[in-house]
Amino acid sequence: MSIFSKIAAGEIPSYKCAENDEFYAFLDINPMVKGHTLCIPRREVDYIFDLEDDEIARFQVFAKKVAVAIKKVLPCVKVGQAVLGLEVPHAHIHLIPMQSEKDMLFSNPKLKLEPEEMQGIADKIYAEFKKL
Ligand code: AMP
């Protein structure tokens, strides 16, 4: 079981931002900016392009809704989307509220936020997601 499957199953704690039967979203523990969120399918697949056609379509619609919720909570120019998957072998979409393209550089130093602030951000995104 991947670390992200354990997160989606609630066996490892996370800052939950959104969920449905098929997908789960939570804050990246090493955020590039405030509100940096990961979306995952509950079904454990390493490479995102190994998802079935209909599954990846629903995954993208889920990520879109999470991005809409993020933008309501964290004012930004746009929410950027990226897929790397070089570290964790469980498909995930990074959603990153951007002020400029520099916010999408994965080589940037990561933020260290207090747990209370992470929880506050996640709770606000979750509340906005539930309204959609
Ligand atoms: P990559 O697989 O290259 O897309 O990177 C994996 C991402 O997952 C990194 O941005 C990590 O900070 C993030 N990450 C790894 N473990 C956790 C965790 N337990 N909770 C939240 N984010 C994590």
pTM: 0.98
Note the pLDDT of residue 102.
97
Distance CA 49, CA 29 (A): 24
The per-residue pLDDT of the chain, averaged, comes to 98
From 1, 12, 28, the mutation candidate for ligand 1 (largest count of ligand atoms within 8 A of CB) is: 28
Distance 118 CA to ligand 1 centre (A): 15
Could you list the active site residues?
Answer: 92
Q: What does the angle CA 128 – CA 34 – CA 120 come to, to the nearest 5 degrees?
A: 50
Mean pLDDT of 48-64: 98
**What's the pLDDT score for residue 28?**
98
The pLDDT value recorded for residue 61 is: 98
DSSP helix/strand/coil, 10: coil
Contact 31, 108 (CB under 8 A): no
Q: Does residue 128 sit in helix, strand or coil?
A: helix
